[in-house]
Amino acid sequence: MSCFIDVLHESDFTIHNIPFAIISSSESQAPRAASAIGSYAIDLLALAQSGAFGKCSVLGNGVAARVFAEPTLNAFMALGRPAWREARAAIQAALSATGTSKLREDEELRQKVLLPLEKVKFHLPANIGDYTDFYASKEHATNVGVMFRGKENALMPNWVHLPVGYHGRASSVVVSGTSIRRPNGLTLNAETKLPEFKASRKLDYELEVAAYVGTGSKLGDSIAVGDAEEHIFGLSLMNDWSARDIQQYEYVPLGPFLGKNFGTTVSPWIVTLDALEPFRVAQPKQDPSPAAYLSAGSLDAYDVKLEVAIKPPTENTPPIVVSRSNLKYMYWSFKQMLAHHTVNGCNMRPGDLLGSGTISGPTPTSLGSLLELSKNGNEPFQLAPSVTRAFIEDGDEIVISGHCSKEVDGQRIRIGFGEARGVVVPAKSL
């Protein structure tokens, strides 16, 4: 595949990608669907109106123009994988350097369809009915367990038998670029052993990847692990902001609550499983073997390189990378999470979000949270010559990015997720 638009080798948005997002622009402030190529957003409503989806048998121009005009991707997600696949192929055809492409040949149309990325505004890509967060990295679960419950109880006996997860808060999922206010809450005073109300002093990020459910399921039904990929629209980056001191005081026995629900940042772009297909790799060996309803193939991980960087407010520097991890470290796959989530009949709706949980790798440089990097604040680290960090300080911007890259037939192909970023602003005065 070659593209008629010049795309830099290190771009996240090559013709191999074709991710989906919701944008608005100064030309049209109505939020609508978009894809991306190089440094441009692709206005999919304008592209549909030009007839680019005319050859699609499931989608078609009429349906495309309807679903791409929506302010969320939910209606497109609900159409199912054949429609997502057709849409991606039709967009690739429109961008192709060869074959018929009205977009390539019509400059006026190009002006309408291709919008410089720096000029568009991103919105939350879906109306998220429910957001569930899992805990699927064994390294992370072990690291945190040691700190919160001691070495003996670090990994609960259930952890290797099922993908542990909990319900998160959907209302506070925000798109990249939204500021996050440091939360106030009750935390334990170590001396008095009593709670005190104050701003969190242990504000943290969590490096995560999240899956959006495309087609859902009915209450009482289950999604079999073998069918689960047909239900997953795609993946995005996620920062599950966490206030460790609030979390630690509140979380027994019903799990995290105010320590998490003050904000969760997602990237604007959702990368489809079809785009990720060339980057499929083996997931970690599962021992013991999980129950039959969780047994799937072994090639259910994706090789997605992930980075966390911090831009401190006091330094004139680009964001400084503090961690490099990889989606392939996840012990439980998204397929398994979706099969588990629905095995009891819990229903799924288009746009539902499943977070991976913090993705930590096996090395000290691949830890997905400051809790792990600074050993719960006990070992602050050097961020820049004059800057140390244990947890997030006011004004810090946290930037999560991710991409895949691989040699295929002598050609390096690369696709990326863009960024999930957010600046922390000071707590409200008490």
- Quick one: which of 173, 68, 165, 78 has its CA closest to 128? 173
Q: How far is the CB of 179 from a copy of itself (least distance, A)?
A: 8
Q: How far is the CB of 186 from a copy of itself (least distance, A)?
A: 6
Q: How far is the CB of 128 from a copy of itself (least distance, A)?
A: 9
**Using the rule CB under 8 A, is 402 a contact of a copy of itself?**
no
Q: How far apart are the first and last CA of the chain?
A: 57
Sheet architecture: strand order including 32-37: 114-116, 40-43, 32-37, 21-24, 121-123
- Quick one: which of 206, 185, 197 has its CA closest to 134? 206
As to burial, measured by CB atoms within 10 angstroms (0-12 exposed, 13-18 middle, 19+ buried), residue 345 is exposed
For every residue of 11-45, DSSP letters joined together read -S--TTT--BEEEE-SS--S-EEEEEETTEEEEHH
**Using the rule CB under 8 A, is 257 a contact of a copy of itself?**
yes
Q: Is 9 a catalytic residue?
A: no
Q: Which of 57, 192, 316, 344 forms a contact with a copy of itself (CB under 8 A)? A: 344
Place of tokens 């993705």: 359
106 is in an annotated binding site: no
Q: Are 271 and 234 in contact (CB under 8 A)?
A: yes
Q: Which of 162, 224, 320, 387 forms a contact with a copy of itself (CB under 8 A)? A: 162
**Using the rule CB under 8 A, is 125 a contact of a copy of itself?**
no
* DSSP conformational letter for 426: P
Place of tokens 């390096």: 412
**Using the rule CB under 8 A, is 190 a contact of a copy of itself?**
no
**Using the rule CB under 8 A, is 335 a contact of a copy of itself?**
no
110 is in an annotated binding site: no
**Using the rule CB under 8 A, is 395 a contact of a copy of itself?**
no
Q: Which is nearer to a copy of itself, 19 or 185 (CB)?
A: 185
Q: Which of 190, 192, 252, 318 forms a contact with a copy of itself (CB under 8 A)? A: 252
Size of the site for a copy of itself (CB under 8 A): 65
The residues annotated as belonging to the active site are: 140
Q: Which residues of this protein are in contact with a copy of itself, per CB under 8 A? A: 129-130, 135, 145, 148-149, 156-158, 161-162, 164-172, 174, 178-179, 181, 183-186, 193-195, 197, 219-220, 222, 243, 246, 249-258, 261-263, 291-293, 340-341, 343-349, 352, 425, 428
